[in-house]
Amino acid sequence: MAIVLDIFKTKRPILLILLPIMFVLYWWNWLQNPIISSNDGSVMPFANLLIHYLGEKPLALGIISILAISISSLIIYYIIDHYRLLKEGINIPSLLYILFTGSFSILIGYNPVILASLFLLLAFIRLIHAYESGFKVAPFFDGGFLVGIAAGFYGASVYFVILMFIGMISVGRIGIREILATISGFVLPILFIGVYYFYYDQMDTYYSFLSNLNIQSVFHNTLSVYQLFYLGFLCLLTLVSIFSLLMRNRLKEIFEIKFYSGLLWMLLISVIIIGILFPYGMEILYISFIPVSFIVGRYFSVQRHKFIGDLFFILMIVGVIILQSPKILDLINL
């Protein structure tokens, strides 16, 4: 059974081969009958803009969502490869991100949080660059700007600006210039939105947008019992992976410590938002799966006990198959 994970630890371009296959399996039913509910993206301005121009073309919105997830997975692969965070298994974190985002049926279809999570991932990359760039403030401005764009798609993204300030403390770069750069970058897209609505005499809509920059969910889908059970399994796997990550001498490079600390903070913010919105707000899982993919992917890559690693991996795959197979669920109900 140890051969299971070894297949994904090769440096062959497995990701490019599995991407189209996994998306066909996950999204096929939705693409056959693409439906956009009335509240999908109708609150935040950037998401509303997509609905305004493509609302009658839900298939186009679905394709945009698939492209956003694909780009996110490729960025995850790039980060792992570029910074040499893993000696082997560099495919695993990006594959896990696709696997996790497709595991739950309520996450399949257009959702503005998909685009928001992409911009939050880009903001995290700029935070990484802040550590590398010495005393430059540009990465903090860029990071704040990207978080502001993410908030334009999904309001709760605004709270991830906290991650930028945590990053300042982590890299020892907190100061008035960094704080002003982050705030300026974050405010810029919000001001741009205000100018847009002012030009079209829709300031009431702009005020509504500002009031929605808080922790709330406009997507009132909840998880089924089976999905909650599988989510519990993923939580257990994540805790085991975090424990493995924090064990003594596992992280030897300062960059690794800073990098995974940032991911843990990102995960913590996501969990807090999910806890506040529970049982709604499950769309936040899209954001939480970013740090989880890195952390769990690292666990699978460095796992010395191959039997345990393969067992977790197989259970994870079996769970996905069950969740994606209505016929099997019907048999379970019987």
Degrees to nearest 5, angle at CA 163 with 161 and 167: 125
**Distance between CA atoms of 218 and 184, rounded to whole angstroms?**
28
pLDDT band at 184 (very low <50, low <70, confident <90, very high): very high
Give the DSSP per-residue string, 129-141: HHHHSTT--HHHH
pTM: 0.86
* Average pLDDT of the segment spanning 303-320: 76
Domain boundaries, the chain: 3-333
Residues present in the chain in total: 334
Q: The tokens 């497995």 sit on which residue? A: 14
Res 135: pLDDT: 58
Res 327: pLDDT: 44
pLDDT for residue 331 is more than 60: no
Encoded amino acid at 304, one letter: R
Among 162, 111, 151, residue whose Cα is nearest residue 266: 162
Degrees to nearest 5, angle at CA 308 with 303 and 311: 120
The string of pLDDT tens digits covering residues 69-90 is: 989 988 998 898 888 888 777 7
Q: What share of the chain is helix, strand, coil (3-state, %, to 5)?
A: 75, 0, 25
pLDDT band at 334 (very low <50, low <70, confident <90, very high): very low
